[in-house]
């Protein structure tokens, strides 16, 4: 792990419509770190990630990727992104390979995929255990398999930084384990990861740091909360010690 910041947000504010969603977020992810962004629905964790990739405009603050201001950042082959989706399908049938190949465009010149690019797509499919479904239509896949395709698409560019928005949502247990194993290999190979999560789940052992958002502010930034004793029970409401006295319990969903 080095001191180099791969993602850096300083005082980032953003609005959706005219409603403020982020109220000055500071977040720095260093090379090799695995950071989980946690928080209840509406806390701004997805919006934070979407400002990083430029999908949501910021009204104030600075964002840097690999030390370059995001506006001037062009080296997108270094970033793999898994958006929050329940399906990889569009309005027209497409095979698993066709969808995953899109992820390689950041490394391809003028949209032309060469032999090395096709091999990278193949490796990405192997990593998520979908190589045998390469020629199948994505419409024929289960929810967990859709998620594996979306992750393969992000891995096809062989990125140094993975940004994933709720990769475990709606994923069956078998696929969750495949995804956790895939991520473990990426982390072992030195990848930096920023994950938006609703619950730590099977990824818990991988996570170095947890950042908890609430109402568009950073509430906690440090080691992931440990589930012990009473807290380990399902359905437990997580009351964070940093919360102001008398605040209603924040339901991070970490333990439910």
Partner 1 sequence: MEILNYAFMQRALLAAVLVGITAPAIGIYLVQRRQALMGDGIGHVAMTGVGLGFLLSWSPVWMATLVSVLGAVLMELIRWYGKTRGDIALAMLFYGGMAGGVMFINLAPGGSNANLTSYLFGSLSTVSESDVTAICLLAAFVVLVTVGLRRQLFAVSQDEEFARVTGLPVRALNLLTAVTAAVTVTVAMRVVGLLLVSALMVVPVAAAQQLTRSFAATFAISVALGVSVTIGGTVTSYYQDVPPGATIVLLTIGAFILLSLLAAPLARRRARALAAAHPAEDPAECKIPATRGAADEVGV
Tell the smallest beta-carbon distance from residue 57 to partner 1 (Å).
11
91 binds partner 1 (CB under 8 A): yes
Candidate segments 28-36, 81-89, 203-211, 223-231, binder of partner 1 by CB under 8 A = 81-89
Q: Write the CA distances from 100 to 28, 93, 121, 123, 187, integer angstroms.
A: 29, 14, 6, 11, 21
State which residue, 115 or 135, has the beta carbon closest to partner 1.
135
* Radius of gyration of the chain, Cα coordinates, nearest whole angstrom: 18
Q: Write the CA distances from 213 to 34, 41, 140, 166, 224, integer angstroms.
A: 17, 10, 36, 15, 13
How many other C-beta atoms are found inside a 10 Å radius of the C-beta of residue 234? Answer: 6
Q: Is 136 left (phi over 0), alpha (psi -120 to 50) or beta?
A: beta
140 binds partner 1 (CB under 8 A): yes
113 binds partner 1 (CB under 8 A): yes
157 binds partner 1 (CB under 8 A): yes
Tell the smallest beta-carbon distance from residue 19 to partner 1 (Å).
12
Please spell the DSSP secondary structure of 4-43, one letter per residue: -EEEEEEEEEEEETTEEEEEEEEEEEETT-EEEEE--TTS
**Window 15-34: contact mask with partner 1 (x via CB under 8 A):** --x-----------------
CB 194, CB 29: distance < 8 Å: yes
**Contact set for partner 1, span 175-214 (CB under 8 A):** none
- Choose, by CB under 8 A, the member of 59, 68, 86, 142 that binds partner 1: 142
Candidate segments 47-55, 123-131, 220-228, 239-247, binder of partner 1 by CB under 8 A = 47-55
Q: Can you tell me which residue has the tokens 């080296």? A: 75
State which residue, 103 or 225, has the beta carbon closest to partner 1.
103
> Rounded to the nearest 10 degrees, what angle do helices 115-127 and 143-155 cross at?
140
State which residue, 161 or 212, has the beta carbon closest to partner 1.
161
Q: Given the rule CB under 8 A, which residues bind partner 1?
A: 17, 50, 53-55, 74, 76-77, 79-81, 83, 85, 88, 90-95, 98-99, 101-103, 105-106, 108, 111-113, 132, 135-137, 140, 142, 153, 157, 163
């Amino acid at each position: 792990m080095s001191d180099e910041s791969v993602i850096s947000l300083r005082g980032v504010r953003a609005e959706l419509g005219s409603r403020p969603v982020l109220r000055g977020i500071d977040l720095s992810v260093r090379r090799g770190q695995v950071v989980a962004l946690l928080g209840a629905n509406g806390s701004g964790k997805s919006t934070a990630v979407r400002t990083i990739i430029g999908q949501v405009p910021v009204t104030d603050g600075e964002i840097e990727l690999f030390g370059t201001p995001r506006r001037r950042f062009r080296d997108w082959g270094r970033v793999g992104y898994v958006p929050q989706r329940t399906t990889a399908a569009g309005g027209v049938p497409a095979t698993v390979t066709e969808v995953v190949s899109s992820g390689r465009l950041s490394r391809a010149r003028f949209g032309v995929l060469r032999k090395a690019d096709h091999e990278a797509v193949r490796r990405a499919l192997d990593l998520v255990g979908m190589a045998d479904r390469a020629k199948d239509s994505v419409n024929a896949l289960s929810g967990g398999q859709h998620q594996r395709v979306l992750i393969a698409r992000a891995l096809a560019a062989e990125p140094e930084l993975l940004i994933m928005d709720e990769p475990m949502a709606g994923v069956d247990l078998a696929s969750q384990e495949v995804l956790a194993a895939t991520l473990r290999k990426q982390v072992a190979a030195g990848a930096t990861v920023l994950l938006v999560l609703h619950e730590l789940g099977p990824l818990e052992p991988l996570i170095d740091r947890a950042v908890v958002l609430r109402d568009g502010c950073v509430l906690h930034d440090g080691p992931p909360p440990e589930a012990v004793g009473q807290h380990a029970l399902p359905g437990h409401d997580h009351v964070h010690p940093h919360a102001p006295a008398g605040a209603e319990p924040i339901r991070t969903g970490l333990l439910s």
